Chain A
Amino acid sequence: MNATRQKKFIETLIEIIRKTSTELPQDVIEAIEAGRSNEQIDSRADYALGIIDKNIQLARIKSQPMCQDTGSILFYIHYPQKADSEALGKVIRKAVTQATKKGFLRQNSVDSLTGNNNGTNVGPGSPTIHMEPWKKDYFDIRLILKGGGCENVGAQYSLPDARVGAGRDLAGVKKCILDAVHQAQGKGCGPGVLGVTIGGDRATGYLASKEQFLRKMGDKNKNLVLAQLEQECTDDANRLGIGPMGFGGKTTLLGVKATTLNRLPASFFVSVSYMCWAFRRHGAKVNERGEIQKWFY
Chain B
Amino acid sequence: MAKAMIRLEAPFTEEKIRALHVGDRVEMSGVIFTGRDAVHKWLHEGNEPPMSLKDSIIYHCGPVVMKKKGKWIITAAGPTTSIREEPYQAGLIEKFGVRAVIGKGGMGEKTRLACEKFGCVYLHAVGGAAQVLAEAIKEVQNVYGLEQFGSPEAIWELRVEGFPVVVTIDAHGNSLHKDIEASSAKVLSEIQAHVKK
Q: Do A246 and B106 contact each other (CB < 8 Å), given the known contacts A55-B128, A241-B183? A: yes
Which segment of A104-112, A126-134, A260-268 sits at the interface? A104-112
Chain A, 142-173, CB within 8 A of any chain B CB: 147-149, 152, 164-165, 169-171
B191–A178 touching, CB < 8 Å? yes
B64–A103 touching, CB < 8 Å? yes
Q: Select one of A48, A65, A152, A170 contacting B126, CB under 8 A.
A: A48
Min C-beta distance of B41 to chain A, whole Å: 10
Asked if A218 lies at the interface with its beta carbon under 8 angstroms from chain B, I say: no
A68–B81 touching, CB < 8 Å? no
B188–A52 touching, CB < 8 Å? no
B131–A246 touching, CB < 8 Å? no
Q: In the bound complex, how far is the Cα of B75 from the Cα of A246, in angstroms? A: 26
Interface 1/0s, chain B 158-197, versus A by CB < 8 A? 0000001010100000001100110111011001100111
CB-CB < 8 A to A106: which residues of B? 62, 64, 76, 151-152
Asked if B124 lies at the interface with its beta carbon under 8 angstroms from chain A, I say: yes
CB-CB < 8 A to B23: which residues of A? 44
CB-CB < 8 A to B132: which residues of A? 51, 54-55, 58
Is chain A's binding surface mostly helix, strand, loop or mixed?
A: loop
Interface 1/0s, chain B 22-64, versus A by CB < 8 A? 0101000000000000100000000000000000000001111
Min C-beta distance of B195 to chain A, whole Å: 5
Chain A, 115-141, CB within 8 A of any chain B CB: 115-117, 119
Asked if A236 lies at the interface with its beta carbon under 8 angstroms from chain B, I say: yes
A189–B104 touching, CB < 8 Å? yes
Asked if B80 lies at the interface with its beta carbon under 8 angstroms from chain A, I say: yes
Is chain B's binding surface mostly helix, strand, loop or mixed?
A: mixed
Q: Select one of B78, B176, B180, B183 contacting A68, CB under 8 A.
A: B78
Closest-by-CB residue of A relative to B23 is A44
B75–A108 touching, CB < 8 Å? no
- Residue pairs across A and B with CB atoms within 8 Å: the count is 171
Q: Size class of A's contact patch? A: 35 or more
CB-CB < 8 A to B188: which residues of A? 178-179, 182, 240
Min C-beta distance of B179 to chain A, whole Å: 8
Min C-beta distance of B120 to chain A, whole Å: 20
Min C-beta distance of B116 to chain A, whole Å: 20
Q: List residues of A whose CB falls within 8 A of some B CB.
A: 40, 42-44, 47-48, 51-52, 54-55, 58-59, 62, 64-70, 103, 106-108, 110, 115-117, 119, 147-149, 152, 164-165, 169-171, 174-175, 178-179, 182, 185-187, 189, 236, 239-243, 245-248, 276-278
Q: List residues of B whose CB falls within 8 A of some A CB.
A: 1-3, 23, 25, 38, 61-64, 66, 75-78, 80-81, 83, 104-106, 124, 126-132, 134-135, 150-152, 164, 166, 168, 176-177, 180-181, 183-185, 187-188, 191-192, 195-197
7 A-B pairs with least C-beta separation: A187-B105, A58-B131, A189-B127, A68-B76, A117-B150, A278-B128, A55-B129
- List 25 interface pairs A-B (beta carbons < 8 Å), by A numbering: A42-B3, A52-B129, A58-B131, A58-B132, A59-B131, A64-B130, A64-B131, A67-B76, A67-B127, A68-B78, A68-B152, A69-B62, A107-B152, A108-B152, A148-B80, A171-B195, A171-B196, A178-B191, A182-B185, A186-B105, A187-B106, A240-B184, A245-B105, A245-B126, A247-B180
